[in-house]
Amino acid sequence: MSRHVPSSEITPESAYLSRRQLIAGLGLAGGAALAGCRPGDGGALPAGGPGSASEGALAPSPPPGGGDRPATDELGDALTSLAAVANYNNYYEFTTDKERVAELAAGFVADPWAVTVGGMVEKPRTYALEDLMRFPMEERIYRLRCVEGWSMVIPWTGFPLSALLAEVEPKADAKFVRFETVLRPDAMPGQRRGGFPWPYVEGLRIDEAMHDLTLLATGLYGRDLPPQNGAPVRLVVPWKYGFKSIKSVVKIDLVAEMPTSLWMDSAPDEYGFFANVNPEVDHPRWSQASERRIEGGLKRRPTLPFNGYGDEVAQLYAGMDLTTWF
């Protein structure tokens, strides 16, 4: 059983980039020329977004609110191209083959959509996609560090999860937040195969969920989220390994006990609840000391504690034993 095999270490980046980026790159150039616009000028763009089959034609749109998109994150690291962000994916509900998620997810219907928020809250509520889209959106450029040892820099569109939680009013004894991905085996071939206890489940402690860095993302590169990236709404928790950033969320519950995530359930010796990025605590089967930045060349770079967000989040874990990454 392939349990989060670091296939980035098996499939050389050059192999997928040469094939995939050629295709995506052609679509991008052609689309921009057809629409008569440069990326970022706010003009018409090729059709895309949730449910679109034209994944090859994805082109960046301006950030919400307009203006220019920085070329780097706050550390000076270049953004990963949209072509790579949208064609190198972990989404096991479709397939464990990162290069095939986009094509298998292309017809996924992400609209209409509903996210039910309940559990230990004063005002349980089901949010339609339109309701979520009414939150003030911002663009956040975050590093995404997969537990497998690769990373990207992605401009997300979204809003802090805390804004949604404030509306439903968590009760005082709610200590954790539990998230669930849609269960749709008809549309998700990976859910038709055995091996994982679907649906995908993740969780955060409530102070982690309330932290301003924690986003509910509805887009990337100024566009609706592509299906392969978790359309129409996914969590983004940038200081934790990527598997915490659960895709295509349909259920959010405030709970008293620490939720058991899909990864804790299927491989408890390898994946824990907190999963904060930590270069000093190796995965049982590989080192976490360094990582490979997608499109960053062959040289590995040192992994940063909390993925470089330690100034913002380290205090959440004061007094906790961080020598175990669980």
Binding site for ligand MTE (CB under 6 A): 89-93, 144, 146, 181, 200, 229-230, 242-243, 245-248
**Stretches 17-25, 94-102, 145-153, 207-215: which one binds Mo ion (CB under 5 A)?**
145-153
**Using CB distances below 5 to 8 A depending on partner kind, what does residue 182 bind out of Mo ion, ligand MTE, none?**
none
Rg, Å, the chain Cα set: 19
Which residue lies nearer to ligand MTE by CB, 120 or 304? 304
Which residue lies nearer to ligand MTE by CB, 99 or 131? 99
Which residue lies nearer to ligand MTE by CB, 176 or 243? 243
**Using CB distances below 5 to 8 A depending on partner kind, what does residue 229 bind out of Mo ion, ligand MTE, none?**
ligand MTE
* Of residues 88-127, those binding Mo ion (CB under 5 A): 90
* Of residues 224-263, those binding Mo ion (CB under 5 A): 242-243
What contacts 23, CB < 8 A, 6 or more positions away? 56
**Using CB distances below 5 to 8 A depending on partner kind, what does residue 144 bind out of Mo ion, ligand MTE, none?**
ligand MTE
User: Can you tell me the distance from the alpha carbon of 85 to that of 139, in angstroms, rounded to the nearest whole number?
Assistant: 16
Which residue lies nearer to Mo ion by CB, 146 or 235? 146
- Determine phi and psi for 116, rounding to 5 degrees: -95, 120
Q: How far is the CB of 98 from ligand MTE (least distance, A)?
A: 8
**Using CB distances below 5 to 8 A depending on partner kind, what does residue 150 bind out of Mo ion, ligand MTE, none?**
none
**Which of 146, 233, 235, 254 is in the footprint of Mo ion by CB under 5 A?**
146
User: Which residues make up the interface to Mo ion (CB under 5 A)?
Assistant: 90, 146, 242-243
